[in-house]
Structure 1
Amino acid sequence: MPPRPYLASLPAGERAFAERLAAALHLGNYRHFDLQGLDCIIGVGSSQGFAEDIAKLLDRVELPVDRMTSTFRNLAAFDFETIPDIVRTLRGHGLRIALGGIAGEPPPLDLIRTVAPDLVRIDGLWFRRVAESEGASRLLPRLVEGFQADGAQVLIEGIETRRQLSAALDAGADLYQGFLLSAPQLAGTATDAAEIEFSEMFAGEAKVIPLFGGRR
């Protein structure tokens, strides 16, 4: 069954154990996949000691720490005041840090300024609402440029249509994620790591040239 409903069905203590076990399995299995050279992003659970667990696991698995990025999977479950301390623990072990917004909300600017993450994740639900509004989507490039000016890469999540992909490309993000690019697969499925040519995804699409400038 999908992980979210499974984890939600567990008592708090069992969920913390399941989160830690999942992290151990992901890290331990990384070397069994033919994905050398690709970055690995793993979520930090909200249970106490999770950050320390990941650091210990990194000492036991064959995973180059410079390819490892840690993100806060469910930001709403954290006390924001504790996040800087968790970040210091993770960075102390050489991990890069990714930070995104709560589902359906924009990136938390104050927390991002405090933490200075290496990667800013733009939530897919919020991004899709913005991308479908021509006026709002014009603000995306300024938002992305601001994060990049502070030294962070920007990942736009939840891309499901070519229009949304076009908005993400126009915004100038560094990384892109979503069902349009790669749908979730069952555990054990062979992973296709071939590069995607964005130009081919728009092949055959009718071009509309507006009379008064701009892009549609």
Structure 2
Amino acid sequence: MSKSIGLAQIIRQDDASSTGVWGVYTLQSAFQPIFSFADGKLTATAYEGLIRPSRQGEPVPPGVFFANVDGADRLQIETLTRTLHLLNAAAFLPTDAAIFINFDPSVFTDASIAELALRDMRHVLNEAGIDPRRVVCEVTEKKPASEEALFGFVSALKANGFRIAVDDFGSDESDIKRIRNLKPDIVKFDAHWISRLMESGAGFALLKEMVANFEDKGIRTVFEGLEQSWQLQLAERSGASMVQGYVLALPEIVPANFSIYSGQENASGRDIAAAAPHPEPAHVPQARAQRPGRSFGKRTYS
């Protein structure tokens, strides 16, 4: 039988996974691999935690679930989802993989909330046996309720060994000003934005320049939301450190065997050419109208 652990809303299942309960919803963790380039190979070196809600056994789109969460409850949901991801990461992810978890800056209204969030993180990491240096805290694109509280929280996270990522760079709130203020270790480029830049030679040149500027400052870059092989190849040519998207791997709900992505079962890693079996021409691709296919939308979940 399942038994309750830690927070009242978290249940440990017989298969070693942890699930959450929020009203009529059951919450599960899914993880999507993030791959690093090395010598023409792709190996999963990190995983992003994503919530998968369901109601009476039927999946509910994450965006629909979060839209139904009352604003006053958002902080509790943030804590619950982070806790689920960390507990499930400890149970299922390779022990050397980084763990990306999202932080909504709109919930940080004052310093006390930041202090509470940090305390909860320490408690969960201690229970899960995870080194804080494995955890990458993604600051999502939302507008902060208090910039002072957010900056203080990020500083405290860094002081405690966590790494910081700015998510959706190029969207409304994740701009260069946020990069200067937060001084992240990693920048994740907005999927729609990079797709548009990749459509022209001038745009791709600008993309390469931005990647180079970040890398020169010691900031690693992630291209997320990649769905097609030509995007993957251009991501490698741009100099991006890491890539993420459906062209490589879908998010998988725990329990799942994630070691197949990490090289533990495939020591040579994944060949970029194999991941993109129908390569585009060597030049920058032409307009989207000549390349049918859906684009990967922005995430609306944590």
Is this a same-fold pair by TM over 0.5? yes
Contact persistence 1:124–1:156 (CA under 8 A):
yes
Matched with 2:223 is 156
> Following TM superposition, by how much is the alpha carbon of 1:86 offset from its aligned partner in structure 2, in angstroms?
1.5
1:91 maps onto 2:165 in alignment: no
**Map of 2:125 onto structure 1:** 58
Task: Show the counterpart of 1:193.
Answer: 261
User: Equivalent residues in 2 for 1:171-186 (5 A)?
Assistant: 171-186=238-253
Q: Give the TM-score taking structure 1 as reference length.
A: 0.85
Query: AA paired with 2:102?
Result: G
Distance 2:182 2:144 in 1: 17
State how far apart, in whole Å, the 2-side matches of 1:145 and 1:137 are.
Answer: 12
Could you tell me the percent identity over the aligned residues? 24
| Structure 1 portions without partners, runs of 5+ | 209-213
Q: Tell whether the 8 Å contact from 1:76 to 1:102 is kept in structure 2 after alignment.
A: no
Q: What do the CA deviations read for 1:65-98 (whole angstroms, capped 9, x no partner)?
A: 2211111134335444443212111112110111
Report the Cα offset of residue 200 of structure 1. 1.8
Q: How many residues align?
A: 211
2:100 maps to 1:33: no
Residue 145 of structure 1: how far off its partner (Å):
0.7
Q: In structure 2, how many angstroms separate the alpha carbons of the residues matched to 1:215 and 1:130?
A: 10
Deviation at 1:36, TM superposition (A): 1.6
Cα pair 1:106 1:126 within 8 Å, conserved: no
Q: 2:71 aligns with which of 5, 8, 12?
A: 12
Return the alpha-carbon distance in structure 2 between the equivalents of residues 115 and 16 of structure 1: 21
Deviation string 1:85-129 (CA, Å, 9 cap, x unpaired) is 121111121101111346745951122123221111111121111
Specify the alignment match of 2:139 in structure 1. 72
Q: 1:187–1:76: structure 2 CA closer, same or farther, 3 Å change rule?
A: farther
CA 1:30/1:136 → structure 2, altered by over 3 Å: closer, same or farther? Answer: same
Structure 1 residues 205 and 28, CA gap change in structure 2 (3 angstroms): closer
Aligned mate of 1:116, from 183, 203, 208: 183
User: Which stretch of structure 1 is more off in the superposition, 198-207 or 69-78?
Assistant: 198-207
Contact 1:75 1:101 in 2 (8 A): no
Deviation at 1:34, TM superposition (A): 4.4
Q: Which moved more, 1:118-127 or 1:42-51?
A: 42-51
Moved more, 68-77 or 187-196: 187-196
Q: Relative CO higher for 1 or 2, CA cutoff 8 Å, sep ≥ 6?
A: 2
Letter of the 2:98 counterpart: D
2:292 match: none
SS at match of 1:70: strand
Q: CA deviation at 1:203?
A: 4.0
RMSD of aligned alpha carbons: 2.4
| SS of residue in 2 equivalent to 1:69 | strand
Contact 1:98 1:120 survives alignment (8 Å)? yes
